């Protein structure tokens, strides 16, 4: 077994897009688990837009990553040494293992995975936090009902691609907003969205009426900014906007709020923020249903798996903000 643990640490708080100098690659001896602990050999790290927010000093729903600390990341790995009876050697796990090759854990916040049910990267995709965001965002926060017109931004990404497919499974109309013709074709031709709007080529506010003749009942917003503003002009009465995230604002020095928010009043609409780990006690039931749809071929999970190990992490994160991923961006570690 490897005796060196390669890690990526936060070296400086970025201004705008993270630069190479905001990171430091370090090595340490592979840790040895103490009593009640186990060692995880990390195989796949989740690359998430929210990582950019965790790098800021400002208060958020998680503690900021400290300067000098290993970058936080959800990850998948396998137990390779254990002093913990609940986590024997060979067990596959998901946890906040960070951007590193090996992590020592006492099991806090760690969940067990069944690799016979789905390939490991799918536990970061449709069966991971992003798939679960789509699931709880639609079914719990938005209280989706059959026949709703659902608009999804970031529609070819990890959350968005699953959200549109769940909307279709539940008998709704799904309209995706994504950047570029390849992504728009993929969500319509392969995932079954009813229509796609290419926000890089089309004016979203002008295009929406054609695809949403009965206006928008549910909007799963992953990007914020101008796209949120455009959808606000097209709300049906009682519309539910779910704020999953705001990728377009994560690198901004000053976040631009929605100037069309007064549309919520006339539409008697709601706009609700959500944090998926709040639903952790319901993950097993949600994963079982998502896995069933995967098995039946009604749901597709696409993972965009990058090679290169932890040293490829800084470039991998930038790919999200350049829109270079289709589906869930994952970094293969070892």
Ligand X SMILES: NC(=O)c1ccc[n+]([C@@H]2O[C@H](COP(=O)([O-])OP(=O)(O)OC[C@H]3O[C@@H](n4cnc5c(N)ncnc54)[C@H](OP(=O)(O)O)[C@@H]3O)[C@@H](O)[C@H]2O)c1
Identity of the residue, 5 or 153, whose beta carbon is nearer to ligand X in the bound complex? 153
Cβ neighbours of residue 272 under 8 Å, at least 6 residues apart? 141, 240, 241, 242, 243
Helix runs in 62-146, H state only: 129-136
Contact 224, 247 (CB under 8 A): yes
Task: Residue 160: name the closest of 220, 83, 73, 117 by CA.
Answer: 220
Identity of the residue, 39 or 152, whose beta carbon is nearer to ligand X in the bound complex? 152
Asked if 222 touches ligand X (CB under 6 A), the answer is yes
Mask of contacts with ligand X, 52-91, x by CB under 6 A? Answer: ----------------------------------------
Q: For tokens 């950047």, what's the residue?
A: 179
Q: For tokens 């806090």, what's the residue?
A: 108
Asked if 150 touches ligand X (CB under 6 A), the answer is no
Among 183, 234, 240, 302, binds ligand X (CB under 6 A): 183
Report in angstroms how near the CB of residue 217 gets to ligand X at its nearest.
20
Identity of the residue, 129 or 216, whose beta carbon is nearer to ligand X in the bound complex? 129
Report in angstroms how near the CB of residue 42 gets to ligand X at its nearest.
19
Asked if 122 touches ligand X (CB under 6 A), the answer is no
| Number of chain residues interacting with ligand X (CB under 6 A) | 31
Among 30, 152, 175, 178, binds ligand X (CB under 6 A): 178
Contact 199, 177 (CB under 8 A): yes
Asked if 306 touches ligand X (CB under 6 A), the answer is no
Contact 79, 93 (CB under 8 A): yes
Report in angstroms how near the CB of residue 52 gets to ligand X at its nearest.
9
User: 304 pairs with which residues across the strands?
Assistant: 329
Counts of helices then strands in the chain (DSSP H, E): 9, 15
Estimate the crossing angle of helix 225-232 against helix 204-211, to 10 degrees: 40
Distance CA 179, CA 153 (A): 10
Helix runs in 61-139, H state only: 129-136
Asked if 95 touches ligand X (CB under 6 A), the answer is no
**Span interacting with ligand X, options 17-25, 126-134, 165-173, 262-270, rule CB under 6 A:** 126-134
Element (H, E) at 159: helix 158-169
Identity of the residue, 5 or 248, whose beta carbon is nearer to ligand X in the bound complex? 248
Contact 214, 231 (CB under 8 A): no
Report in angstroms how near the CB of residue 242 gets to ligand X at its nearest.
9
Report in angstroms how near the CB of residue 158 gets to ligand X at its nearest.
3
Token digits for 184? 């728009």
Distance CA 255, CA 57 (A): 15
Contact 231, 204 (CB under 8 A): yes
Identity of the residue, 81 or 286, whose beta carbon is nearer to ligand X in the bound complex? 286
Among 160, 164, 258, 314, binds ligand X (CB under 6 A): 160
Restricted to residues 235-294, the positions that interact with ligand X (CB under 6 A) are 244-248, 274-276
Asked if 10 touches ligand X (CB under 6 A), the answer is no
Identity of the residue, 50 or 120, whose beta carbon is nearer to ligand X in the bound complex? 50
Identity of the residue, 113 or 129, whose beta carbon is nearer to ligand X in the bound complex? 129
Distance CA 228, CA 212 (A): 15
Asked if 325 touches ligand X (CB under 6 A), the answer is yes
Q: Which residues bind ligand X (CB under 6 A)?
A: 48-50, 129-130, 133, 154, 156-160, 178-180, 183, 222-223, 244-248, 274-276, 320-321, 323, 325, 329
């Amino acid at each position: 077994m490897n005796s060196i643990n390669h890690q990526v640490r936060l070296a400086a708080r970025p201004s705008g897009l993270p630069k190479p100098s905001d990171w430091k690659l370090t090595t340490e001896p592979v840790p040895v688990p103490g009593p009640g602990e186990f060692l995880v050999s990390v195989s796949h790290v989740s690359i998430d837009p929210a990582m950019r927010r965790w790098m800021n000093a400002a208060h958020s729903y998680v503690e900021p990553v400290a300067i000098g600390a290993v970058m936080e990341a959800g990850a998948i790995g396998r137990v390779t040494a254990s002093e913990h009876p609940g986590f024997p050697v060979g067990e596959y796990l998901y946890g906040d293992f960070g951007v590193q090759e090996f992590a020592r854990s006492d099991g806090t916040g760690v969940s067990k995975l069944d690799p016979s049910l789905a390939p490991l990267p799918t536990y970061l995709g449709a069966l991971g936090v992003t798939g679960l965001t789509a699931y709880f965002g639609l079914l719990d926060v938005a209280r989706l009902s059959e026949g709703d017109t659902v608009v999804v931004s970031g529609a070819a990404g990890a959350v968005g691609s699953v959200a549109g497919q769940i909307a279709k499974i539940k008998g709704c109309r799904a309209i995706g907003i994504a950047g570029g013709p390849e992504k728009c074709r993929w969500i319509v031709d392969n995932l079954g969205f009813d229509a796609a709007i290419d926000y890089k080529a089309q004016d979203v506010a002008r295009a929406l009426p054609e695809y949403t003749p009965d206006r928008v009942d549910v909007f799963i917003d992953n990007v914020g900014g101008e796209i949120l503003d455009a959808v606000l002009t097209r709300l049906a009465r009682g519309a539910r906007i779910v704020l999953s995230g705001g990728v377009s604002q994560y690198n901004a020095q000053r976040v631009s709020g929605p100037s069309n928010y007064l549309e919520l009043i006339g539409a008697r609409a709601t706009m609700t923020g959500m944090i998926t780990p709040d639903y952790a006690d319901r993950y097993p039931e949600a994963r079982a249903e998502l896995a069933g749809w995967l098995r039946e071929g009604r749901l597709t999970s696409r993972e965009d798996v990058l090679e290169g190990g932890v040293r490829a992490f800084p470039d991998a994160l930038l790919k999200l903000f350049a829109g270079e991923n289709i589906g869930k961006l994952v970094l293969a570690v070892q």
